[in-house]
Amino acid sequence: MPPQSLNRKLLIPLLVAVVLATALVATVAYVLAGSRAERELEQRRRSIQAILESDNLPLNSAVFQVLANLTAAHWFALRADGSIVMVAWSDDLPAALDPEDWSAWQATLADVRPWSPTQETTAIRVGTTRYRGIHWRRARPRTTRDGVPVTSLIVLIDESQQERLMAQSIALPALVGLIAIGIVAAVTLATTTRWVRRISQLQQGVRRIAEGDFQTQVPVHGQDELSQLATDVTRLAAELSGMWDRLRRLHSEQMLHQLSAGLAHNLRNSLAGARMAIELAALANRPKLAAMDDPCRQAQAESLVVAVRQIEQAEEYIQRILWLAGGREAPPRPMTLDQCLATLRDTLDATARHRDKQLHWSLPSALSGARVADSQVLLAAVSNLVWNALEAGQDVLVTWQPTEQPDSALVCVSDNGPGPPVDIQDRMFEPFVTATVDGSGLGLAFVARAAQRLGGQVHWQRSGDRTEFIMTFCWS
C-alpha cells in the first residue's frame, strides 16, 4: 500500500475544521438574521395596522408615497368594484410588472384576501418576488380630493428584503471562512512541506543505516524536536559503527582462538622434539666447545644456549594459548623490570647481531626494582614490538621510563625505518591487518590486548625520522 502524503494528512483535517467552523458561524448568523428579520417584519405589520385603523388617514398621492417609503411597501387604494384608484410604490419595484399596467396589478391584488388582526396575511408572488398582502376594508368609505370613493386599502410587504438580509448575514462569515481557508491552506502547506522535507531526510538516513552505512549523518536544522531526532539518528549511526567494529574484532578473535588452539597443539609437539635434539647436541659437544679457544666455537655454543631459551619461551607462549583456547587464564608470573630486561636481552640481542642490526636498551635505576604482576604478557608484547622494529629499521632503541601516573611506566620501542603505510595506520592494532606479504597481522593486535591487560594502552607516532611505539603498563 503506497504511503499517504503527510501534507494531505495534516492539511485536510485543518481545512475540514475551518469549513465546519465557517458553516457553524454562517448557520448561527443565518438563524439570528432570520429571527431579526421576522421581528422587523412583525413590527412593520403592526405599524401598518395602526395606520390602517386610523380614521384620520388622508387619501392623497403625497401621503401614500410617504407611507410607501416609510413602510417599504406598495400601497393601493381600491373602489368597491376592486379597481385601483391610487397607488404608491416603494423604492423596490419588481421588474416583472409594469407600474402603468394597472389591469395586471388588479389581477394580482384580487388574490389578496380581506384581513383582520386575528387572521394571517396573504402570501402572493409577483414574478420572482414574494409579498405579504394586507387587505383592509374600511367600515365607512372615504373619498379622495377628486371625490372618488375608496372602500379598501391593500398593502404589499416585500418579503425578499428579509431573504436578502438573511443572505447578507451569511455572506461575511462565508467570506471570512474562505479567506481563512486560503490562509490556513497556504501556511499549513508551507509548514508541512518543510516538515516533510526534514522527515524525508530522516527517513533516508535511517534507510542508509539499515543498509549498513554507519557513517550516515542527518542534517540538523534549528533546535526543535526534529532536530533532536536528527542528532539522535546520527549518534545512533556512530554507536552502531562502533558496535559493528567491536563485533568484527570479536569475530576475528574467536576465529583466532580456534585456529591458534589447533596450531599450538601441533607446535608444542614439534618444539618439544626440537628442544630435545638441541639439548642432546649441546650436551654431546659441550666438552669440545668448552676446551677450544676458537671464538667461532664459543659463538656456536652460545647460539645453542640461545636456541634452547627461545624454544622454552615459545613453549611458554604456546601453553598460554592452549589455556586461553580452553577458557582459562594462565597463572601470572611476577618479575621485576630488570629481570624482564635480562630475559629480553638474552634472546633479542643475539637475533640483532645475527641480522647485523643495532639494538640498544635503556632502563633507569628507579624502575629496576619495579615488579610486574604478569611478566610473561609484558615480555611477549615488548618482544613483538622489538621484532617489528628489527624488521623495519637498522637502529632500534628500547627505552623504559616512569610516567606521571603513580605505579605506572612506559616502554618506547623506536626505529629509524620509514614507518607503517598510510592505508593501515588507523587499523594497525586490529587483527589480521599487516603491511607485509608474509605477516599474520596478529602481533600488534596482541600488543594492544596485552597493554589493556596490564592496565595501560599502546599507540604509535613519528618523531623526526624515527617511528615510536609507546606502551604504558602498571606495576606494583
pLDDT exceeds 50 at position 395 = yes
CA distance 149 to 92: 28
Most confident option among 85-99, 103-117, 423-437 = 423-437
118-141 mean pLDDT: 76
Q: What is the pLDDT of residue 1?
A: 46
Instruction: Please report which confidence band the pLDDT of residue 168 belongs to, taking 50, 70 and 90 as the band edges.
Output: confident
Kindly list the distances between the CA atom of residue 285 and the CA atoms of 145, 300, 301, in Å, as whole numbers in the listed order: 171, 10, 8
Q: What is the pLDDT of residue 457?
A: 93
Instruction: Please report which confidence band the pLDDT of residue 399 belongs to, taking 50, 70 and 90 as the band edges.
Output: very high
pLDDT tens digits, one per residue of 67-82: 888 777 888 888 877 7
Which range has the worst mean pLDDT, 83-87, 120-124, 133-137, 254-258?
A: 254-258
CATH, domain range 234-331 = 1.10.287
Task: For the chain, give the secondary structure using H, E and C.
Answer: CCCCCHHHHHHHHHHHHHHHHHHHHHHHHHHHHHHHHHHHHHHHHHHHHHHHCCCCCCCCHHHHHHHHHHHCEEEEEECCCCCEEEEECCCCCCCCCCCCCHHHHHHHHCCCCECCCCCCCEEEEECCEEEEEEEEEEEEEEECCCCCEEEEEEEEEECHHHHHHHHHHHHHHHHHHHHHHHHHHHHHHHHHHHHHHHHHHHHHHHHHHHCCCCCCCCCCCCCCHHHHHHHHHHHHHHHHHHHHHHHHHHHHHHHHHHHHHHHHHHHHHHHHHHHHHHHHHHHHHHHHHHHCCCHHHHHHHHHHHHHHHHHHHHHHHHHHHHHHHCCCCCCCCCEEHHHHHHHHHHHHHHHHHHCCCEEEEECCHHHCCCEECCHHHHHHHHHHHHHHHHHHCCEEEEEEEECCCCCEEEEEEEECCCCCCHHHHHHCCCCCCCCCCCCCCCHHHHHHHHHHHCCCCEEEEEECCEEEEEEEEECC
pLDDT tens digits, one per residue of 27-64: 877 777 777 777 777 777 777 777 776 767 777 778 87
Q: What is the pLDDT of residue 311?
A: 66
Q: What is the pLDDT of residue 394?
A: 94
Q: Could you give the percent of the chain with pLDDT greater than 90? A: 11
**Mean pLDDT score of the chain:** 77
Q: What is the pLDDT of residue 398?
A: 95
Q: How far apart are the first and last CA of the chain?
A: 68
> Does 234-331 match 332-476 in CATH topology?
no
Instruction: Please report which confidence band the pLDDT of residue 96 belongs to, taking 50, 70 and 90 as the band edges.
Output: very low
pLDDT tens digits, one per residue of 408-460: 999 999 999 999 988 888 888 887 788 777 777 778 888 998 899 899 999 99
Q: What is the pLDDT of residue 382?
A: 93
CATH, domain range 332-476 = 3.30.565.10
pLDDT tens digits, one per residue of 267-319: 655 556 566 666 666 666 655 555 555 555 555 556 666 666 666 666 666 66
Q: What is the pLDDT of residue 466?
A: 94
Q: Could you give the percent of the chain with pLDDT greater than 70? A: 76
Q: What is the pLDDT of residue 385?
A: 93
Tell me which of 441 and 396 has the higher pLDDT. 396
Domain-wise residue ranges, the chain: 1-211, 234-331, 332-476
